[in-house]
Amino acid sequence: MIEIKNVSKGFGEKEILTNVSAVMETGKTNLIIGTSGSGKTVLQKCMVGLFEVDKGEIIFDGKSLTNMQEEERKELRQQIGMLFQGSALFDSMTVQRNVKFPLDMFTNWSHAKKMERVNDVLDRVNLKDTNNKFPAEISGGMKKRVGIARAIVLKPKYLFCDEPNSGLDPQTSMVIDKLIHEITKENNITTVINTHDMNSVMEIGENILYLYEGKKEWEGTKKDIIFSKHEKLNEFIFASEFLRDAKDMRMLEAKGIIDNDRNMEQILRDGGASLVVDEGDKGNPDK
Ligand SMILES: Nc1ncnc2c1ncn2[C@@H]1O[C@H](COP(=O)(O)OP(=O)(O)OP(=O)(O)O)[C@@H](O)[C@H]1O
């Protein structure tokens, strides 16, 4: 569990995070959502100690990162796996060397033991026969899997992912989301994911924190989000007009009010005016 307690952070005169409090739960995929610039990355960087907070505290399973000495911070860092935006693989290293890198940095294991672990994690992310390929030779989705393999190679207690789906098509995104979710469950990891991908929210959002202009505006589960009446949250969720229309259309179709073959295009064109019918005409918007 990671506790964020009354955290504020600014740069110069500008305050980016204001008094944010939240709990990232163990064994769950905790999502931080919000529009671009709302402070998600800054909050994650505060959580992993890349930025110092101005006020407040970050507590990892009872231990305050904010008050830790450097030695203790180093120990904690070894328990943190990170999946960066764009995977951040070393282009000049093979897949195998990329994944082995943290083991070379932080363990004294024999080469054989390291390779056993590398092959285990590559297996886990469903990457076989790629050990000797270079990042330029594999797809975006495969690069993300290599990034995940590298992030979990040291068996972290905490996993941080910044926009894990950036640059991926919706289907590959779903595969990556599910993989992160499964790995979180299998290893009881406290996983924190920054995203503005609503598909991810619906797929794997167990505990969701919504940031708006650096403040915690809402928190809840994916079930809560569907029925939330929170205005700013709804603006964010239904930012896409298409999504709003699609949702309304499906509801109306389910109720038998519209028929997707006949009158949907007309309704989209007139913004719903053709749905306004006399009492006696209910259920037949063509009239
Ligand atoms: N090192 C920095 N120095 C000064 N300002 C910064 C720094 N890092 C971030 N900011 C500012 O903090 C604000 C929040 O940025 P942040 O990257 O956290 O947003 P975000 O919600 O992660 O956005 P995105 O979804 O686009 O990644 C922005 O206005 C940004 O310019």
Whether 105 is in a domain gets the answer yes
Residue ID of nearest Cα to ligand 1 atom 13: 37
Long-range contacts of 277-281 (CB under 8 A, 24+ apart): none
State the complex-level ipTM: 0.97
Continuous segment of H or E residues that includes residue 41 = helix 40-47
Q: Which domain holds residue 270?
A: 242-275
- Ligand 1 atom closest to the CA of 38, numbered from 1: 21
Instruction: Give the residue from 213, 212, 173 showing the smallest Cα distance to 193.
Output: 173
Q: Are residues 125 and 205 in the same domain?
A: yes
Q: Are residues 39 and 160 in the same domain?
A: yes
Let me know if 7 is exposed, middle or buried by CB neighbors in 10 A (0-12, 13-18, 19+).
buried
Q: Are residues 253 and 124 in the same domain?
A: no
The span from the CA of 112 to the CA of 100, in Å, is 11
Question: Cβ distance 68 to 79 under 8 Å?
Answer: no
Q: How far apart are the first and last CA of the chain?
A: 58
Residue ID of nearest Cα to ligand 1 atom 24: 36
Q: Are residues 81 and 25 in the same domain?
A: yes
Give the number of domains in the chain: 2
Q: Are residues 249 and 161 in the same domain?
A: no
CA of 17 to the centre of ligand 1 (A): 10
CA of 100 to the centre of ligand 1 (A): 31
Whether 282 is in a domain gets the answer no
Q: What is the pLDDT along the chain (287 residues), one digit of tens a residue?
A: 999 999 999 999 999 999 999 999 999 999 999 988 999 999 999 999 999 999 999 999 999 999 899 999 989 999 999 998 776 889 999 999 999 999 999 999 999 999 999 999 998 888 888 999 999 999 888 999 999 999 999 999 999 999 998 888 888 888 899 999 999 999 999 999 999 888 888 889 999 999 999 999 999 988 888 778 888 888 888 776 656 666 666 677 777 766 655 555 666 666 666 655 544 444 444 43
CA of 50 to the centre of ligand 1 (A): 13
Q: Measured from the CB, is residue 39 less than 6 Å from ligand 1?
A: yes
